[in-house]
Amino acid sequence: MKRFWLIAVVLTLLVGSPALAHYQLLYTPLTALERGGEMLLKLVFTHPFEGGHTMDMAPVQEFYVVHQRGEEGEPRKTDLKEHLKQITWTSQGHAGKAYEARLPARIVRSMGDYVFVLVPGPYYEPADEEYIQQFTKLMLNVGGVPGNWHQPLGLPAEIVPLDKPYANWTGGIFRGVVMADGKPVPNAELEIEYLNYTPDMEKNAFAGKPKIEAPHPAFETIGIRANNRGEFAIGLPKAGWWGIAALGVGESEFDGKPVAREAVLWVQVTDLP
């Protein structure tokens, strides 16, 4: 693993871009819930497949949940920043500054969909001499009543699902649309990674052994492209979590340097009983 990282660092220096993809993880163990209640979420900026390097997160800019029960009615937005607490997340041979959020039972209470949105502060990537900022979504459902899971939120960078991210069988497919400010991004570049370690919610660490050994680096971060309407589809060959990241969705500026806007969506996959 050390040698791998040495090679990765050398490649980064030579090519000038990271060899592995960064992903903003927004995690809770179960997204299809029978009933609401207290919730514990972890916010970690890491490399989910390799599970090694965990970057220090910048202070969170935005963290909220949008809830809607059923197709009718107004979605309700609840700010969650007051629940954030800084933690240290330990990955394989590494540790980084991360956050957790303990939500009281009143937040995820009634039936329907809950769309969590996290906008971390821009993260400076020295290899690229630019910041990156990942607009990250995680969705929960309570009680099976569908709600606003498919609705764009109009974020500067966003993956809008065409399948429910919390209800997927192993072997199924998952589709989505890459959007910027509510408009599709044609031919968007996407990266897909499997969350290869089980997050330990008590120890704030990636626990155990990797679930998959990749036969080749190209399988660690799978690269795909959206079509000319910004749509994509991926297979879901293994139960657990798949992270989808859309790169280069837009650009802003921070501290006189460019900020690459990216979008992340987490998809939970369940084995047939």
* Smallest separation (angstroms) from Cu ion to the CB of 174: 24
- Choose between 75 and 210: whose C-beta lies nearer to Cu ion: 210
* Smallest separation (angstroms) from Cu ion to the CB of 127: 9
Residue closest to Cu ion, measured at CB: 22
Q: Please report, as residue ranges, which positions from 44 to 63 form the binding site for Cu ion (by CB under 5 A).
A: 53, 55
Please state, in angstroms and rounded to a whole number, the distance separating the CA atoms of residues 79 and 83: 9
- Choose between 33 and 55: whose C-beta lies nearer to Cu ion: 55
* Smallest separation (angstroms) from Cu ion to the CB of 55: 5
- Choose between 148 and 221: whose C-beta lies nearer to Cu ion: 221
- Choose between 53 and 261: whose C-beta lies nearer to Cu ion: 53
Residue 25 found at the interface with Cu ion (CB under 5 A): no
- Choose between 51 and 112: whose C-beta lies nearer to Cu ion: 51
- Choose between 67 and 261: whose C-beta lies nearer to Cu ion: 261
Report how far apart the first and last C-alpha atoms of the chain are (Å, whole number). Answer: 35
Please state, in angstroms and rounded to a whole number, the distance separating the CA atoms of residues 245 and 132: 12
In sequence order, the β-bridge partners of residue 222 are 192
The sign one gets for the Cα dihedral 113, 207, 17, 220 is negative
* Smallest separation (angstroms) from Cu ion to the CB of 218: 18
* Smallest separation (angstroms) from Cu ion to the CB of 69: 38
CA dihedral 149, 153, 157, 163 (to 10 degrees): 20
User: What is the C-alpha R_g of the chain?
Assistant: 18
Residues in the chain: 273
Q: Which residue has the tokens 């970057």?
A: 55
Q: 19, 22, 192, 230: which one contacts Cu ion (CB under 5 A)? A: 22
Q: Name, in order, each residue with C-beta under 8 angstroms of 10's C-beta and a sequence gap of 6 or more.
A: none
- DSSP secondary structure string, 194-252? E--SEEETTTTEEESS-S---SSGGGTSEEEE--TTSEEEEE--SSEEEEEEEEEEEEE
* Smallest separation (angstroms) from Cu ion to the CB of 153: 26
Please tell me the count of residues contacting Cu ion according to CB under 5 A: 3
Please give the structure tokens belonging to residue 225.
């492209």
Segment contacting Cu ion by CB under 5 A, of 16-24, 114-122, 215-223, 239-247: 16-24
- Choose between 42 and 53: whose C-beta lies nearer to Cu ion: 53
Segment contacting Cu ion by CB under 5 A, of 22-30, 114-122, 242-250, 252-260: 22-30
Please state, in angstroms and rounded to a whole number, the distance separating the CA atoms of residues 38 and 93: 31
* Smallest separation (angstroms) from Cu ion to the CB of 245: 12
**Site residues for Cu ion per CB under 5 A:** 22, 53, 55
